[in-house]
Amino acid sequence: MTTPVVGGSFIEAPLPDRHLPVQRRLTGRHDRSVQNAARLPSMGRPREFDETQVLREARSQFRHKGYAGTSVADLTEATRLGKGSLYGAFGDKRQLFLRVLDDYSAGSVVAVRDALSGDGPAIDRLRSYLLAIADGSARDGDGCLLANSTAELAGQDEEVAARVSATFRALGALIEAAVREAQAEGDIDPDADARAVGGMLLAVARGMEALGTGGASRRSLRRTAEQTLAVLASRER
Please, what are the averages of pLDDT over each run of 10 residues along the chain (237 residues)? 41 47 43 42 56 93 92 94 90 94 95 92 96 87 82 90 95 97 95 96 93 90 94 67
Distance, CA of 100 to CA of 138 (rounded, Å): 23
What pTM value is reported for the model? 0.77
Q: Do the Cβ atoms of 179 and 198 come closer than 8 Å?
A: yes
**Buried/exposed 51-87: b ≥16 CB within 10 Å, e otherwise:** beebbbbbbbbbbeebbeebeeebbbebbebeeebbb
| Cα dihedral 1→103→11→112 (10° resolution) | -60
Instruction: In whole angstroms, give the CA distance from residue 218 to residue 206.
Output: 15
Residue type at 139 in one-letter notation: R
Sorted by where each starts, the structural domains of the chain and their CATH numbers stand as: 5-230 (1.10.357.10)
Other C-beta atoms closer than 10 Å to the C-beta of 122 total: 21
Q: Identify the pLDDT of residue 11.
A: 54
Q: Residue-wise over 7-16: b if at least 16 C-beta within 10 A, else e?
A: bbbbbbbebe
pLDDT at 151: 85
Burial of 189 (0-12, 13-18, 19+ CB in 10 A): middle
Contacts of 165 (CB under 8 A, 6+ apart): 154
Largest CA distance in the chain: 67
The reported pLDDT for the residue numbered 36 is 44
